[in-house]
Every structure is written in C-alpha cells, then in structure tokens.
Chains A and B, each alone.
Chain A
Amino acid sequence: MRRPDVIKPVTILAAVLFAATAAAAPSNRVFVTNERGDSVTVIDAATNQVVGTIDVGKRPRGIGIAPDGSEIYVALAAENAIAVIDPVAMEVVRKFPSGDDPEAFAVNTNGYLYISNEDDAKASVYNPADGSLVAEIKVGIEPEGVAASPDGSKVVVTSESTNMLHVISVPQHRIEANILVGARPRSAAFSPDGKLIYATSEISGEIKKIDAETYKILGVGTLGDERAKPKDVLVSLDGKKLYVAGGRANSIAVLDADALVVLKKIPVGERVWGLAMNRDGSRLYTTDGVSHQTSVIDTASEKVIATVATGKFPWGVVVDD
C-alpha cells in the first residue's frame, strides 16, 4: 500500500493523524543521529542518497523506532528529553522529558521506551504516547546498553561499571537475573529466536553468549585486536552470524555466532559505534563517528557498497522498512 505524497501543511497534518491511527507504511529510510550536529540525517534505503536533515535538538544519540513504524524516537542528551519524529514528514512532532542525560534505549514490543540512566544507576520505562513514566528499575552503576527480547517479555540492561547484565521481566518490571560479564559491558542483543543473548565488553574485548532462559554463560569470544573496543552487536536473521562494531579498530567484525570466532573484518570509517540491519537482513548500516559517515554493507558479499556523508559525529542508526 503506497501512501500519497503530501506537500501541503494541511495534508501533512492529516497524514500524521492517519499515521497515528493506522499501521504506517514504512518510509524505507535510514535515520542517523549526529551527536554534534544536533540533527538526524535521513537516507533513502533504495538509493543510499540523503533525502533530508532534521534539526532535532541538543546532543542526539540513541535512536529507535515504534513497533508499528509510525514514530522514531531520539534521545537528546543535553535536553534530558526524547524527540518524536514522523519518519515520512521528516519532522519532530513532539518531545517529552526523559530523565537525565539519556543515551541508549530500546523500544519494546509493548511500545514503551526502556532507557538506561547512566548517572543514576537505573533504567526508566516511558510510554511515548503521553510521555508518562511507567517504571524505574534499579540496576548497576553506569547503565548503558538496552536490548528487548523479540517477544517483548524481557529487557536486558548492561551496567558498565558493575560489569553486569540485568534481565528485567516485562510487564512486572523486576530484575529476574543478574549476570557477571567482562569489563565494561557495552551492548547486548537477543538472537532472533529469543533463546540467546550476546553481550560485548569494551575493556576486556569480549563477546559473551548467554542462555536466555538459564542465564548460563555458554561461550566467550574476542575480537583479537587490542584497539578494538566492541560496541554495538547484531545477530543475523538466521542466527548464525554476529556483527560487532569495533570502535577504533575501524571495522565490523563478522563472527560465527556459535563458536564466537571472527570470520572476517569489514573495514569501514573511523570510530564505528552504531549498527543497524534492514528487515530482510541484506544490509547493515554503520555510524563511522570520526569519518562523519554511514557505511552501507551488503551482508551477502560482506562488503561496503556505499558510504553516505552524515552530519557531525554520527552516533546511532535505525532503519524504517
């Protein structure tokens, strides 16, 4: 179903209302937050061309998309707020306060945002429909990465200084497990079948594989490069490969998800932190922060097929498709 192009303000308003009440057709765009540009770069996924730049507010970092694709959320660290973006109109439609210094968050299947509050040792749950605070959960010191399970029943929060993963049950919003991992755990991701959790530790350079039911650690791997501080991690759609952003190693490591060994490193730009995958798993998008660009990777050939100039110091990326 194709939505009609809308160019007049009145019809834009109608389109926003339409989007709010019915499942939105995807914009087929990639959205990148520019931490020092105070903006979001919008890239057309079919052409890899920049189609817009949205002024979102101060120090945007984490970015996520609503389950129905109707809204994109951006954490504004310097405004202590979440900006809500219409992905078709490419504009900020509202903002709501979020707690101090928001950085990373996950959007769960229930539509709520699970935000790690780095300075307050807690995770906050917000309903973006009305900006209300649903719950606060005490976690370890310097919470960072947040990942929601595919079925929405669990949310994992990493605490960097306490070296732990905390598993939060949804909707009870209580901690049901605490798992010790390597030094400075940064990011976590569930396998598509929800049975495994993968977590990266920045200082120990490790990737750990954890059973999502028993919480036992099943395996550990490393990126094998002293400069690599693993950041974002994603699991391929078939669950067989991991993609790990390697920070100053300036590459995406492709690992065998079972053996946790590096199969290949895909060179990208400098200081790669963020990673996103499209719906059919054919494309990866990176944020190469110091190169001020996004690299587009074809996952079949495991090669960069395009680089797209973004704003200053791109941080997070999400795909609406």
Chain B
Amino acid sequence: MNTNQTKATAKLIKEIFDELMSLGTSQKKISTAPDSSAESYFTPPVHGDSTYFYSCSFQNQNELEQVFKQIFNNGYEHIPAAITTKLAKLAFLLKENNTEQDTELSPFIYTLY
C-alpha cells in the first residue's frame, strides 16, 4: 500500500467531513424520536426511481460526480458541488488503495479433493 496515498485519502476524508460539518445539521432526512401526534410513520418512497434500480457507468471523476449530484440531491438539501467534486476524486483515490479480495480462484471451485 502506498503510504503517501493513504495519507492523502485520510486528509481528504477529513477535509470533506469538515466541509459537511460547516453545512450544519440536516434536519429533513433523519428523525430521532417518536412523535405522538403522528398517525403513521410510513412515508411514500422518497428516492424516486432509485427505489427500484439505477444504472450507470462512470469511467472518470466527472461522470461519477454527475451520479453523486443526481442521487444526493434527489429532493433534499443540496450537497454543494465542491463536496461532490472532492468525493468523486476521493473515490478514485480509494479505488486504487483498496483490494477487496485477491485469492486465486480454485479450478475445482467446490474443491472436491
């Protein structure tokens, strides 16, 4: 693992977090306590077509940023463009760092012997 890249991603994560904190609390999306006056806690689906499926392919940061903007800003407070730009950059950096699984596939995939 490239230590410089790890430090870079950690720094960027902190930067993004601090920028989010400067937005103040987002009241709309998350409630934390019961409401005795409410008749029901059900809501209609709030994420539109994403409730069902979303199809995309992002080959570069710009395309990923567009995906973030579309999904993050669906009906709620906007996440500023500066943050989504950094998030897209961060995602591509993290992709290079992280290996999820690198074991070789066994030719006998259910290892009979």
- Same complex for A and B? Answer no
Residues of B within 8 A of A (CB): none
Residues of A within 8 A of B (CB): none
